[in-house]
Amino acid sequence: MQAARLIVHGIELYGLIGLVLALWFASLGIGRALANPGHVTWGARLLMIPGVIGLWPYVLRRCLGMPR
């Protein structure tokens, strides 16, 4: 049971970090990650949130300017 609890807590932590990054990315960070962001509507930003939650390590690397 202890191993299962650790796995669940790890998944919760991953999702929480992803949610915080997704909210930051949707409001301010989109200009850092995209090469030519132009005008991104709020509807498009909301649609990006679930993907950013799941792929937050990749998005964080793009926002920080690190190579793939």
- For residue 25, the enclosing domain spans 2-64
Residue 42: the pLDDT is 87
Residue 31: the pLDDT is 73
Q: Give pLDDT tens digits for 30-68.
A: 877 777 767 888 898 899 999 999 999 998 888 887 766
Residue 7: the pLDDT is 97
Higher pLDDT, 64 or 21: 21
Give me the number of domains the chain comprises: 1
Per DSSP, the three-state class of 48 is helix
Give me the sign of the Cα torsion angle 27, 46, 65, 10: positive
C-alpha span between 34 and 11 (Å, rounded): 27
Residue 66: the pLDDT is 72
